[in-house]
Amino acid sequence: MKIHPKLRPIREKVEAGQRLSLQDGLVLYEPDVPLNEVGQLANLVRERINGNAAYYNLNTHLNPTNVCVYRCTFCAFRSDLRDPKGYVMNDEQILARGQEAVDNGCTEMHIVGGLHHQRDYQWYLHLVSILHQAFPNLHLKAWTAVEINWFEFLAKKPVRSVIEDLIESGVGSLPGGGAEIFHPEVRDRLCEHKADATHWLEIHRTAHQLGLRTNCTMLYGHIEQPWHRIDHLIRLRELQDQTGGFQTFIPLAFHPENTGLSELKKPSSLLDLRTMAVSRLMLDNIPHIKAYWIMLGLGTAQIALSYGADDLDGTVRHELIYHDAGATTPEMLSVDAIRQLIQEAGRDPIERDTLYRTVIRDTDDPTRWQVGPAIARDEDGRWHASTPQFARALSS
Ligand code: SF4
């Protein structure tokens, strides 16, 4: 097979299962290094880890408020308190969302929102708690590290104690948002008030120590340079070496519309695919890479399944954050549609729950479901799992 000379040493490392360096990561972003060759390398790793499987789930989003004290320049979702766009959901509305999710067979609710300066810590705990009590089988993936940092401020408690409170209220895992780009050269220009890289990572470390699985993200395609992305990925990889608690990495394509960076163009599909592939290659210890179709568009998300990604996220209901920033994708997909997207891409669709266990649907009433076995090593020895032993198994 033809291979670009710059990629030869990297290919040897990938084939030998060796870790790529920062310098290797920079080479993967060099414009003369062919994208399709980088994609082929990423696909090798993707198939080594996840075979031909492509995962999805049935999920819904809840953004309880968009009122936020911060003003991140890339954000189109936030609102001031008195802006007509500003809203805060009440208990009835929140419970109605839970009911709708359960009635439609969702296994997961993804909960993130603004940092409302007139809502106290108890409000954030309360809304998780009422959902958990009413719908105990609905997994609540709630609050980014940025929100947890805000809760530390509201509650005047250390992060460990805050996360213990969240677990007690019914939080089942943490989403990966708020990571943006870790390097202060970029972060200070995007969101100077938010938790910095050290604290973001510390919150996830603490969550992992307390038994929560979490996701991680990177917002790319704005003012950052390729080396900022590689630096970001290496920081995530280092934490994963220590805890093994990240399940999925989600590269998030920046959408400029209605943001403070609206003069920028959104990243091209080529950058989307290269970033997907580089992420798969650099993050050798994170089991899943997600092509978030809401941000990428359906076509690019399908192609990404051969550029390192093994997960399309879910059917999604009520996505606001990226649609406020100009995403033109549908606001939800049917199960048939998401399975068809995966099959058209030549992959095998597997419904998973938030913790990457298989989901078994009642054949008479598909809104009813139960958790099946954890996705595990198949007879060919390939891993189809994000079980805690995943990282150890890969390195053994
Ligand atoms: S990204 Fe989050 S923290 Fe930043 S302004 Fe938007 S809602 Fe607020």
Q: Which pLDDT does position 320 carry in this prediction?
A: 79
Give the residue from 153, 135, 137, 147 showing the smallest Cα distance to 176. 147
- Distance of CA 393 to CAs 214, 248, 272, 384, 396, Å? 19, 17, 29, 12, 5
In the chain the beta strands, taken as DSSP E runs, fall at 53-57, 59-62, 108-111, 139-142, 173-174, 213-220, 246-253, 288-289, 311-314, 348-351, 357-361, 369-374
| 319 — pLDDT class (breaks 50, 70, 90) | confident
Please tell me if the CB atom of residue 146 comes closer than 6 angstroms to any atom of ligand 1.
Answer: yes
Q: What is the residue with the minimal CA distance to atom 4 of ligand 1? A: 72
Please state, in angstroms and rounded to a whole number, the distance separating the CA atoms of residues 270 and 300: 9
Tell me how far the alpha carbon of residue 175 lies from the centroid of ligand 1, in angstroms. Answer: 14
Tokens found for residue 51: 């075979």
pLDDT surpasses 50 at 243: yes
Q: Which pLDDT does position 376 carry in this prediction?
A: 64
Tokens found for residue 376: 């595990």
Weakest-pLDDT range from 73-82, 356-365, 372-381: 372-381
pLDDT surpasses 70 at 324: yes
Please state, in angstroms and rounded to a whole number, the distance separating the CA atoms of residues 57 and 310: 12
pLDDT surpasses 90 at 162: yes
The 10s digit of each residue's pLDDT in 186-217 is 999 999 889 999 999 999 999 999 999 999 99
Q: Which distant-in-sequence residues (6+ apart) come within 8 Å of 30 by Cβ?
A: 6
pLDDT surpasses 60 at 273: yes
* 184-193, long-range: CB < 8 A, 24+ apart: 185/228, 186/223, 186/224, 186/228, 189/73, 189/223, 190/72, 190/73, 190/74, 190/219, 190/222, 190/223, 191/70, 191/72, 191/73, 191/74, 193/69, 193/70
Contact (CB, 8 A) for 77 and 324: yes
Tell me how far the alpha carbon of residue 76 lies from the centroid of ligand 1, in angstroms. Answer: 8
Please state, in angstroms and rounded to a whole number, the distance separating the CA atoms of residues 196 and 270: 29
Please tell me if the CB atom of residue 325 comes closer than 6 angstroms to any atom of ligand 1.
Answer: no
Q: Which pLDDT does position 388 carry in this prediction?
A: 39
Q: Which pLDDT does position 385 carry in this prediction?
A: 45
Q: Which atom of ligand 1 is nearest to the CA of 194?
A: 3
Write down the number of H helices and E strands in the chain. Answer: 16, 12
Please tell me if the CB atom of residue 116 comes closer than 6 angstroms to any atom of ligand 1.
Answer: no
Please tell me if the CB atom of residue 78 comes closer than 6 angstroms to any atom of ligand 1.
Answer: yes
Please tell me if the CB atom of residue 219 comes closer than 6 angstroms to any atom of ligand 1.
Answer: no
* 3-state DSSP assignment of residue 148: helix
Domain at 43-395, CATH homologous superfamily: Aldolase class I (3.20.20.70)
Contact (CB, 8 A) for 211 and 164: no
Q: Which pLDDT does position 239 carry in this prediction?
A: 98
Q: Which pLDDT does position 326 carry in this prediction?
A: 78
Please tell me if the CB atom of residue 186 comes closer than 6 angstroms to any atom of ligand 1.
Answer: no
pTM of the model: 0.94
Q: What is the residue with the minimal CA distance to atom 7 of ligand 1? A: 114
Q: Which pLDDT does position 377 carry in this prediction?
A: 55
- Distance of CA 146 to CAs 220, 225, 360, Å? 18, 23, 34
Please tell me if the CB atom of residue 71 comes closer than 6 angstroms to any atom of ligand 1.
Answer: yes
Tell me how far the alpha carbon of residue 72 lies from the centroid of ligand 1, in angstroms. Answer: 6
